[in-house]
Amino acid sequence: MPAPSLQPANPAPPKNPAGNQLQDDIAQILGKVKIPERHSTMPQEAVTEKHYDTTLADPLSPVPHDAAPRGIPAPGVSPSEKSATSAAPETPSAPSQSSDLRSLHTLKDDLQHVVQENKISYVRAIALEEEKRHRIEARSPNIARKGRRSSFMLFMVGILIGTGALALGAVYLVTQQRTGKENASLRSDILFAEQSVPFPVDNEAPSDVRRTLASARTSGALTLGAILQIVPVHTQTDPATGQTSTTPLTFGEFLKALGTRAPDDLARALNDDFFFGIHTVDENAPVIIVPVTSYERAFAAMLEWEPDMNADLEPLFTLLPSQTTSANGLPVVRKFDDTVMRNYDVRALKDDAGTIQLYYSFPTRNILIIAESPFSFAEILSRLRADRRL
């Protein structure tokens, strides 16, 4: 076994643990830190064209609102945040859909306007608004009360007007019914007439009766071709009840009321019922129609009455002079002549011009017609045929 050497080996360099640890830490830090590169030129900001959304929104979808309303400033930004924001590249953002919406005009805006213009406080403005609202509320009941009062007054006026109209209508109906009944009782069945009126002849002189009847020729206002029936009546008053009644005259009484000189056989040969009226044609012409009971006696009585007939019936009929001139130029008595009208024999009295002014005829053995206008004869025949009396 060799003996160990006593000479020491080469000494190792001394260790520096603290220095090695520091270098390792610096190297590790430098490896983690990234130094930003320096750019020579600033990046150019991208300019984006603003587009407006023109599509129609869904009416059921909620309307978007801005995060910060217009007119309210955004919160302040610190310089460090501004630098950090400017350092980061800007990215184009899509245009906000609600950026084009306008703010609504609200009560708050009105209040601010009042405060700024009138130089009053918010409390004063609110107090004025409350006072105005109270005045409107106090006025509303009065308006409603006046409206109800006006409606009630209009309702009452309507009721009064309606009641008055009903009363007048009832009076008119009753009057018309009474008048209709009286006219129906007085209306003759001999000939149809458009109208019928009574004519009282009590205590009247014959000349006054003829004059009053003649006035109907000028005062009549009927349409062309119409006939107005005039019914001569007696007026009687019942002393017990005080009611007034009317009774039509017979043909004999009518001749006496006119003061005629007709023979008594004429009234006995004719019926008591007769028709007297005014026919509107070229003139208002009188007509008389009487049913006949004895043709021979009636015709003979008419021949006897001819010399006085025209004078007895004036002014109801046109009066002609009693004399005329003959073909020889000598004065003669005016007489009735035989003529034919509508194929019926007629006895006519003519004036100097040859115009018929008065005539009578028996179209049948049961009817006597006395009239003035030849047009009336045709109308009477037409109405008698319509009633099947011819």
Do 336 and 352 lie in a common domain? yes
Do 193 and 304 lie in a common domain? yes
Whether 243 is covered by a domain: the verdict is yes
Tell me which residue range forms the domain holding 135: 106-186
pLDDT over 80 at 136, yes or no: no
Q: What confidence category does residue 377 fall into, taking pLDDT thresholds of 50, 70 and 90? A: very high
Q: Indicate the residue among 186, 203, 227 that finishes a domain.
A: 186
Do 346 and 377 lie in a common domain? yes
Q: What is the pLDDT of residues 344-354, one digit of tens each?
A: 999 999 999 99
Q: What is the pLDDT of residue 98?
A: 47
Q: What is the pLDDT of residues 216-250, one digit of tens each?
A: 888 767 788 999 999 999 888 878 887 888 899 99
Q: Indicate the residue among 186, 218, 246 that finishes a domain.
A: 186
Q: What is the pLDDT of residue 335?
A: 94
> CA 228 → CA 63, 221, 224, 272, distances in Å?
88, 10, 11, 20
Cβ-contact 217, 278 below 8 angstroms = yes
The structural domain count of the chain equals 2
Cβ-contact 371, 349 below 8 angstroms = no
Average pLDDT score over the chain: 78
Do 195 and 229 lie in a common domain? yes
Tokens of 31: 């490896």
What percent of the residues of the chain are helix, what percent strand, and what percent coil, each to the nearest 5? 40, 20, 40
Distant-in-sequence, close-in-space partners of 177: CB < 8 Å, separation ≥ 6: none
Of 160-169, 272-281, 312-321, which range is least confident? 160-169
| 5: amino acid identity, one letter | S
Do 299 and 321 lie in a common domain? yes
Do 164 and 288 lie in a common domain? no
pTM for this one?
0.55
Q: What confidence category does residue 142 fall into, taking pLDDT thresholds of 50, 70 and 90? A: low
Buried b (16+ CB within 10 A) or exposed e, 11-34: eeeeeeeeeeeeeeeeeeeeeeee
Q: Indicate the residue among 186, 205, 220 that finishes a domain.
A: 186
Q: What is the pLDDT of residue 36?
A: 58
pLDDT greater at residue 107 or residue 308: 308
Do 123 and 201 lie in a common domain? no
Whether 242 is covered by a domain: the verdict is yes
pLDDT greater at residue 139 or residue 270: 270
**Could you give the CA distance from residue 227 to residue 179 in angstroms, rounded to a whole number?**
19
